[in-house]
Structure 1
């Protein structure tokens, strides 16, 4: 057998996935990631059209978001190796789109809101493509950066929760810039893990990349809304 097609040992002595398996996981991750955009957009559209999330107070909205998000992520972890894994993930992305609708609706209320949403979408796509290309170029193992990114994400979460009640635009802009940097790096980290054979479940891989893209888009949109929004 060609050595490039066989599994090779990791630094911990455990065999990694073969090149063929890694390519399959990466391909399925990209397909599922693309599919996940459909329920996300539907959820956001429904939320904007009905004003469902706008009816929630900031505190209640935060509790619904955290409870729903962590509940879905727990369910995804439990079903990722079964036939229910994909439907549960897609239901999660619908929920996340619904939760995003409050921000999207606020930005669309601006005179240039539609262009800001499209700019945020294009910017997120550009970041994803850049990180995907970079993950194919970098040869060194970058898995160790994951723990530092996780610490940064926890810090963002804590400060973000505080800002729900503080309502500081300056702090929101600072958080948005930091989030774009941290979650862009997370995209690179997660895709590189798949390419290196360290992540072999495409549902888990999709969840990680989706959450990073979601946070990048949300942060870009918030930043554009604060800095470039026009009321007239």
Structure 2
């Protein structure tokens, strides 16, 4: 009976910990949207020049992975949270070319709101599925990672070819790939595989960010109006 009680207490403690990590992750993810919006607003308002081309892409990847490394290195301290918020501001700045191009459409503001609403809806649905479903989504990570490497290579190649159809294809694939990552990342928290809310927030932020940019690319391609 005593052993049963200990088992029950242990399971209950694990459940409380997982719920706390999930709650803190969602809270920090919401907070991270503020510097992202600020970064985007600064970039668009002041026309911050964002390096383009192959070298620009390499520079972006270098800075982004530098931030990610530093965040993971400091994820158990307040410095990790500060670095994460700094990273989200940087990612907001990197939206400048896409937002400027979209706002060049007469319905640009509407397209941005549609992309935001679509991203929020996708996240809400997939996060709910990952939370309540008994299905194991760990297998999707392997295929999603292969797909991620593929679209990164295709994106770098398309810098030289600039094929609109390839850009659209990459965006569609990216939505599927990062949607799969949402299922995997949220379920890892729910199942206790991820116990640090800073790391969890970073993973989900990248999922949401890439879905938003991909949706906005597609909406601009399909529904952008110059009238």
Same fold, judged at TM 0.5 (above): yes
> Given that residues 127 and 186 in structure 2 are in contact (C-alpha distance below 8 angstroms), is that contact kept between their aligned partners in structure 1?
yes
Cα deviation 1:179-211 (Å, max 9, x = unaligned): 011101111110011001110010110010000
In structure 1, C-alpha distance between the alignment counterparts of 2:29 and 2:39, rounded to whole Å? 16
Aligned-pair CA distance for 1:3: 4.4
Please state if 1:68 is matched with 2:72: no
Cα distance change of structure 1 residues 198 and 69 upon mapping to structure 2, 3 Å threshold: same
Aligned-pair CA distance for 1:5: 4.9
> Given that residues 107 and 116 in structure 1 are in contact (C-alpha distance below 8 angstroms), is that contact kept between their aligned partners in structure 2?
yes
**Counterpart in 2 of 1:193?**
188
Cα distance change of structure 1 residues 4 and 145 upon mapping to structure 2, 3 Å threshold: farther
Structure 2 counterparts to residues 48-197 of structure 1, below 5 A: 48-54=44-50, 56-197=51-192
Aligned-pair CA distance for 1:225: 0.6
Structure 1 stretches of 4+ moved >6 Å:
none
Higher helix share: 2
In structure 2, C-alpha distance between the alignment counterparts of 1:221 and 1:91, rounded to whole Å? 23
> Given that residues 53 and 61 in structure 1 are in contact (C-alpha distance below 8 angstroms), is that contact kept between their aligned partners in structure 2?
no
Aligned-pair CA distance for 1:92: 0.4
Aligned-pair CA distance for 1:124: 0.1
Q: CA RMSD in A?
A: 1.6
**Counterpart in 2 of 1:41?**
37
Aligned-pair CA distance for 1:137: 2.5
> Given that residues 176 and 219 in structure 1 are in contact (C-alpha distance below 8 angstroms), is that contact kept between their aligned partners in structure 2?
yes
Q: 2:18 aligns with which of 12, 18, 22?
A: 22
In structure 1, C-alpha distance between the alignment counterparts of 2:6 and 2:113, rounded to whole Å? 46
In structure 2, C-alpha distance between the alignment counterparts of 1:129 and 1:25, rounded to whole Å? 17
Unaligned runs of 5+ in 2: none
Please state if 1:6 is matched with 2:2: no
Aligned-pair CA distance for 1:136: 2.1
What is the count of residue pairs matched by the alignment? 223
**Counterpart in 1 of 2:213?**
218
Unaligned runs of 5+ in 1: 9-16
